[in-house]
Chain A
C-alpha cells in the first residue's frame, strides 16, 4: 500500500512538473508550483518526517505562492514564447541527470540501517533526548539544542534575506525621503 501511495505521489509530481513546463499562463504556473510543494509535503508525511512536511506545506505551498502572486502582479501575466527550439539546454539537463543517477548507485538502499544517517550521531540523539531534555520530539531537541549553532545560522540567514529584500525593493530610502519631507 505504501509503495502504491509513493508511486502515485511521484507520478503526480512528474505530471505537475510537466504541466508547469507546458503552461504559458503565469497565474496557473504559480498555483501549480503550490500544488507541487503540497505533493512534496505529502511525500514527507509518508516518510514520517512530519516536521519537514509542515514546513514545506507552510512555506512552499503557502507563503511562496503568495509572494509569487505578489511578484506577478508587478510584471506580466504571460510567459513569452521562446524564439527558437534549442538543443543545448536539453543536453545539459540530460547529462546532469545521468551523472546524478550514476551518483545514487553508490548510495545505501532507501531506509537501510547501515546508511551513514543511521549509524553516526542520530542513534545517540534518539537515545539521549529523553534523559537530556525530558520531552519526546527529537526533531525539536536536535534543531534547538544539539544543533543550536546551525539554527542560529539559519535565523541569521532569514534575517539577512529580509534585509536584502528591504534594501532592494522595500522602499526604505523612499520612506526616509518622505520623513524628511514631512519634517520640512
Chain B
C-alpha cells in the first residue's frame, strides 16, 4: 500500500494517538471501562495498522519478532511473579493487600496495576506475534511447507 499517500499520512498521524489511548485504557482501568485486555489489543492495533500500510518489514524494524516473542512470556511472568511476591510477604497467592500492609487499599491498587500491566503486555505481544505469523507467510503455500 506504499502508493496510497492519504493512507500513509493518516496512519502516521494515528499511530501515536492510538498508543496514547491504549496507555490511558491500561492505566485508567480502575476508574473507567477498560483494562489490560482491551489496552493490549489497542496497543497491538497501532503496530498492525503500521504493518498493513508500510509493510511487514518496516514494522519488524520497530518491533522485531524475537522481541515480541519474549514479551508474550514476560507478561505472564509479571502476573504470576506479583502473586509470588505477595506469597513471600506472607499472604495468599495474588493477595495484593500484602504489598502495602499499612494501607491495604494502596496495596490492592499497586497489585492491580502490576497484573494489568502483565495482561496488557502479553495480550499486545500475542496479537502482534499472531499478526506477524499470518502476514509473514508467503501468499501461496509451497509443497515443502506441508
By the criterion CB–CB under 8 Å, are B35 and A155 in contact?
Answer: no
Number of A-B contacts (CB under 8 A): 138
* Contact B130–A145 (Cβ < 8 Å): no
Known contacts: A140-B29, A155-B119. The answer to whether A145 contacts B134 by CB under 8 A is no
Does the CB pair A135–B45 fall under 8 Å?
no
Is the beta-carbon distance between B33 and A54 smaller than 8 angstroms? yes
How would you classify the secondary structure of chain B's contact residues: helix, strand, loop or mixed? helix
The majority secondary structure among interface residues of chain A is helix
Query: Contact residue range for chain B?
Result: 35 or more
Which of these, B65, B109, B130, contacts A165 with CB under 8 Å?
B130
> How many Å lie between the Cα of A155 and that of B75 in the bound state?
8
Say whether A136 faces chain B, with CB atoms less than 8 Å apart.
yes
Asked if A51 contacts B129 (CB within 8 A), the reply is no
Answer yes or no: A58 CB below 8 A from chain B CBs: yes
Whether the Cβ atoms of A171 and B137 lie closer than 8 Å is: yes
Say yes or no: is A10 at the interface (Cβ < 8 Å to chain B).
no
Does A162 lie at the interface of the complex (its beta carbon under 8 Å from any beta carbon of B)?
A: yes
CA–CA, A161 to B45, complex, Å?
18
Contact B112 A144 (CB under 8 A): yes
Interface positions, chain B 27-74, Cβ under 8 Å from A, are 29-35, 37-38, 41-42, 44-45, 48, 52, 65, 69, 72-73
Are B48 and A137 interface neighbours, CB within 8 A? no
In the complex, A156→B119 CA distance in Å?
Answer: 9
State whether the Cβ of B20 lies closer than 8 Å to any Cβ in chain A. no
CB contacts under 8 Å to B, within A124-170, are: 132-137, 139-141, 143-145, 148-149, 151-152, 155-156, 158-159, 161-163, 165-166, 169-170
Closest to A174 in B: B145
CB nearest neighbor in A for B30:
A135
- What is the interface residue range for chain A against chain B? 35 or more
| B31 pairs with A132, CB closer than 8 A | no
| Chain B residues closer than 8 Å to A165, beta-carbon distance | 129-130, 133
CB-based contact A58/B130 at 8 Å: no
Query: Given A70-B135, A144-B115, A169-B137, are A51 and B34 also a contact pair (CB < 8 Å)?
Result: yes
- Closest 9 CB pairs between A and B? A70-B134, A135-B30, A148-B94, A162-B126, A134-B105, A50-B33, A170-B133, A58-B41, A144-B112
**Given A63-B48, A139-B35, A141-B30, 5 more pairs with CB closer than 8 A:** A51-B34, A55-B38, A133-B105, A140-B35, A159-B76
The interface of chain A, by Cβ under 8 A from chain B, is 50-51, 53-55, 58-59, 62-63, 66-67, 70-71, 73-74, 132-137, 139-141, 143-145, 148-149, 151-152, 155-156, 158-159, 161-163, 165-166, 169-171, 175
Q: Which B residues lie at the A interface, using CB under 8 A?
A: 25, 29-35, 37-38, 41-42, 44-45, 48, 52, 65, 69, 72-73, 75-76, 79-80, 83, 93-94, 96, 104-106, 108-109, 111-112, 115-116, 118-119, 122-123, 125-127, 129-137, 139, 141
Query: What are 21 inter-chain pairs, A to B, with CB distance below 8 A?
Result: A54-B33, A55-B37, A55-B41, A59-B37, A63-B41, A66-B52, A70-B135, A132-B104, A133-B30, A136-B31, A137-B30, A144-B112, A145-B108, A151-B119, A159-B126, A162-B129, A163-B72, A169-B133, A169-B134, A170-B132, A170-B133
